[in-house]
Each structure stands twice: as C-alpha cells, then as structure tokens.
Chain A
Amino acid sequence: KAGVTQTPRYLIKTRGQQVTLSCSPISGHRSVSWYQQTPGQGLQFLFEYFSETQRNKGNFPGRFSGRQFSNSRSEMNVSTLELGDSALYLCASSRGLAASSYEQYFGPGTRLTVT
C-alpha cells in the first residue's frame, strides 16, 4: 500500500510570491491534515480536510489556504510569502477525522525556503 506522497519535496521561493504544495493521501483515507514544522515550535496545525470540506483550522493567517479534491488529494496554498514561512510542511492522512483517535500517516514533507 503506497504511503502519503508530497510534491515537491524541496522548494525555494522569493518573498511576495505564492506557492502551492500537493499531498496525495493513502488510498481509502478521506482526511488530510496539514502541519508546519519549524525548529523549536514542533508541528503547528494548519487545517484538516475531510470529504472535500475544511473541518478544522489552526491559528494561521488567511494567506494559508487549502482545498481537497474528490479523490481526497489536497493542496495547500500560501500567498504573499514571508521569510518566516520557511519551514517543513507536512501532510498527514487518516481514515477518519484525525482527532477521532484515528492514526495519522505522515508524508515526508515539503521543505520550503523563502529568500
């Protein structure tokens, strides 16, 4: 069974630009959650999508947005990039909603560097 895949794995962008990251969940999983990992901050929850609907949202500005398609694949978009957006962006999939005690499976992440 294929794991969670994220593309691209590495990305370098300039301040002010926008970026779109992609996540393909494990087959059969309907929930996709996105996290930002920075040194010392751990995994900060961005949002969760389930059945194409955003079910949960963290405390990030509106520049961070996402969507989920009918095949459960998800994209995350960050507009007007800032230097502080440099981080590892992880997505995780689960059969049901992530916090309903369903185990989450993480992808390898996309390393975003903003210069």
Chain B
Amino acid sequence: DQQVKQNSPSLSVQEGRISILNCDYTNSMFDYFLWYKKYPAEGPTFLISISSIKDKNEDGRFTVFLNKSAKHLSLHIVPSQPGDSAVYFCAAKSVAGAGGYNKLIFGAGTRLAVHP
C-alpha cells in the first residue's frame, strides 16, 4: 500500500525550462512533506520541505506547492540546469496512532534529466 506515489518514473526537460515533479498521497493525516535529491553513488540530500499549514514554499530556484484538497504536491525547478539531473524523492511525515511514532514515508522517485 503506497501512501506516497510518484507516478512519473522519469522526466526529461531542456535546460532553462521549468521542471515540474509531482507527488500524490493518500493519507490526509500527513502534516509535513519533504523533497530529496539523489545523485548516483550518493545518498539522498534534503532539498526543500513544506508544512501542511502552507501551500507554497520557495527556496531559490526550487518551489514546492501543496494542494491539500487534492492530496498533491509538486516541486518546480526554474530554470532547470544540467546539474539538476538526479532522482527526486518526495516524502511525507505520517502521524502515528496511539502508542506509536511518526515516520517518514517516501515515494518511488522520479528521475529528472535536464538536457543542454
């Protein structure tokens, strides 16, 4: 049961254009969302996050949008650069039930290729 879904396994974008990576979730109790970037042979690195009380968070070329009613978030990269080519994972924090602990749940990832 995948609670966090990244339905596009890959995305190809031309340098200078906008990259839009999408993520859907099923659990309305998620209250915090994160994006990670992963280069080959390296571990994922934190990119940007957003709390469920916001609908947008911006950091330089990266902006994350959250649509709670649609249970959808997206990461926009503008302008895209060849160095942005990597696998991007979205993650959501789940609220634990009684006696449990919160956990982070990751999507399967989207491979972004930015071409010169």
Contacts and interface: CB of A to CB of B under 8 A. Distances in A.
A88 to B, nearest CB: 9
Interface string A58-101: 10000000000000000000000000000000101000011111
Contacts of B63: none
A41 B102 contact: no
Contacts of A58: 103
Interface in B90-116: 91, 93-94, 100-109
B89 interface: yes
A99 B43 contact: no
Contacts of A35: 106
Q: Is the interface of B mostly helix, strand, loop or mixed?
A: strand
Contacts of B91: 43
Contacts of A108: 41-43
Of residues B9, B94, B105, which shows the largest number of chain A Cβ atoms within 10 Å of its Cβ?
B105
Nearest to B105: A45
Nearest to B110: A42
Contacts of A56: 100-103
B22 interface: no
A69 B93 CA distance: 26
Interface of B: 4, 6, 9, 32, 36, 41-46, 49, 51, 89, 91, 93-94, 100-109
Interface of A: 4, 33, 35, 40-45, 48, 55-56, 58, 90, 92, 97-101, 103-109
